[in-house]
Structure 1
């Protein structure tokens, strides 16, 4: 089977969603299928013998107008150009927001599929979350996390009708896909008012261990955070959590983001032993994860899934996360393979509990590995994907 994947990002320089696409493609190739890529990150390349053709998309910071210009001018032009390549493929599959919009605009006659990895068809900023941390169920753009300063927030109601119209247009673009894959049950449930349950299928991300490099200068024991250093990830809570726990283990943070300077100051003020390792390529990140005691996952938004939680289970490592709604419940079962907590104080208590008990870490980690093998390996997921491709 000849398959074309359309994606917004792709390895080696990308986050977890790009790696998820890569592992699906690698698993399909191992079964004898041919997979090519169109990426919207602007860099054509070969990676692991995959051919990646790229288009560059303008990610304007101008509120409303920049995105409007992109959706009305750039993406339709990319759709027209990409459409000329579709003829040689049996299956087309878009894996992110912009690539799904492009594929929907192209309206291909082939079988085509979309993977929904966040809330973009129903939430303009894709996070379904108010700035104060409460889940957004009214799509009140004046309080949306996308309103990063006062005037944008003030202006949002003026554009409300336009934004609602654009969300309806987005949803309409993918309504004719043969199947909409949602990466978690929580994400699927958010789309049920707009798409039929028959059109949607829960198909989680998969993870595989690559050859792990040697990573020097790591402590003998440490706790680990992996992710963007941004407020929706809850990373700003870690200084308080670590100080409250009084655990002496160092906290290592892998990732980049706008909060790093603020966090460095906060950890210093609270006398918390924290080290920022910056962005690390995926194999190196996994190597660091494999040597950690536990993963701290303080995310505040309703995570669509949580790739690092899957990878923690793959590496026999327990995780701590908040218990609010989100796709991470598909990965973590409380006191089975991790700990789910309702508050910062409880999060700190869970850190104490895990740091102080090797037996608990081993029990939760071993169960995490079992859950990974049942739910998140290529062997568990890819046959379901191929069944839909061949349906």
Structure 2
């Protein structure tokens, strides 16, 4: 098969892009030809550079322009299947597929069809099922009303169109349930992990390179309000100041300077912000760390951070929400934090290396059972073949 993957954002933007590239590598090993269409570059594959349409305020115009670009690629490359990685490119992909008569797939990894912010959280971080015009009226300043009403109207109109895809994929149970609540049926496909990918450098060498001797806690992800990293830092402030630990915060986002200001004002010298890092560097950080934290406030669909932590045999502490519950079996491969018991759980794991190692091994075992790239790739291949034989 010749498959065109439309992943609008470049690698480094988020976990969805990493997951899609890993999935592409599995399909490639099965003998399929993979081509990427993106504003970035996916190394190891033929790439078509898409224009940046983010500044175009009229969504229908953006979809038409992007759709026309994709039609040219499909005709030139004689594509069999076009696969949209996320909602942003979905309607353009559908248009291109309809015009050229090929099969179409859309892959959902968040709540973009239920909320203009894709999180289903309001400004006070309270969860709601989906946006409504009334909710937008209450939530936003008057100057934003027209724009947010327009966005929500566009999203609502897209629900019927999404049903026209030959295959709709959801990456987690929370996403699948959210789509179902909107009347959209989807097929679950677990996020893949390449179990053969390993950082060759030893932990001892990595710690020497990074000049780290202390017990090390790692947060790796975007720095946004709904990710909960600021709240976790506030909760752990006294613990971090009083104990010999290193807290590494890897990522960027709108909360970056808020977090940095808090660290400086409270002289939390063992909390270090290192900015966004490429996938290979993040994997090295997982390996040298003792513990990974995922403090999400929102119903995180399926955090790639947890998968990568388990890939590196590391225990995970995560909030008891969303896709975290799908990945963490409490007290088996980590702990689900229910009553803000972060400090208690961290202290337990600091004192007990054998427990950390046991939780890490169990996490790796879960990956082998449910998220092995070889299995997931064959599963997706089967889905592709099924829609290709349909009239």
Instruction: Name the TM-score class by shorter chain.
Output: 0.7 to 0.9
Rounded Cα–Cα distance in structure 2 between residues aligned with 1:157 and 1:299: 28
Partner of 1:58: 53
Q: Does 1:212 align with 2:211?
A: no
Residues 93, 377 of structure 1: alpha-carbon distance in 2 compared, 3 angstrom cutoff: same
Shift of 1:271: 4.0
Residues 54, 366 of structure 1: alpha-carbon distance in 2 compared, 3 angstrom cutoff: same
Q: 2:164 aligns with which of 151, 171, 176?
A: 176
Rounded Cα–Cα distance in structure 2 between residues aligned with 1:219 and 1:253: 14
Kept in 2, the 8 Å contact 1:20–1:205? The answer is yes
Q: 1:223 aligns with which of 205, 217, 238?
A: 217
Rounded Cα–Cα distance in structure 2 between residues aligned with 1:160 and 1:284: 37
Root mean square deviation, CA, Å: 2.3
2:36 is paired with a residue of what secondary structure?
strand
Partner of 2:259: 263
Q: Does 1:128 align with 2:120?
A: yes
Residues 194, 258 of structure 1: alpha-carbon distance in 2 compared, 3 angstrom cutoff: closer
Q: 1:139 aligns with which of 131, 134, 141?
A: 131
Partner of 2:279: 282
Partner of 1:63: none
Shift of 1:154: 3.3
TM-score, length basis structure 2: 0.88
Rounded Cα–Cα distance in structure 1 between residues aligned with 2:30 and 2:114: 35
Q: Does 1:370 align with 2:341?
A: no
Provide structure 1 residue ranges, at least 5 long, that are not aligned to the other structure. 61-65
Rounded Cα–Cα distance in structure 1 between residues aligned with 2:280 and 2:181: 39
Shift of 1:94: 0.7
Rounded Cα–Cα distance in structure 2 between residues aligned with 1:14 and 1:184: 20
Residues 157, 382 of structure 1: alpha-carbon distance in 2 compared, 3 angstrom cutoff: same
Shift of 1:252: 0.6
Rounded Cα–Cα distance in structure 1 between residues aligned with 2:360 and 2:373: 20
1:275 is paired with a residue of what secondary structure?
strand
Q: How does 1:79-94 map to 2 (within 5 A)?
A: 79-87=67-75, 88-94=78-84
Kept in 2, the 8 Å contact 1:5–1:93? The answer is yes
2:141 is paired with a residue of what secondary structure?
helix
Q: Does 1:6 align with 2:6?
A: yes
Kept in 2, the 8 Å contact 1:225–1:254? The answer is yes
Kept in 1, the 8 Å contact 2:50–2:69? The answer is no
Shift of 1:365: 0.8
2:245 is paired with a residue of what secondary structure?
coil
Residues 289, 316 of structure 1: alpha-carbon distance in 2 compared, 3 angstrom cutoff: same
Rounded Cα–Cα distance in structure 2 between residues aligned with 1:73 and 1:252: 43
Rounded Cα–Cα distance in structure 1 between residues aligned with 2:197 and 2:301: 24
Provide structure 2 residue ranges, at least 5 long, that are not aligned to the other structure. 387-391
Shift of 1:388: 0.6
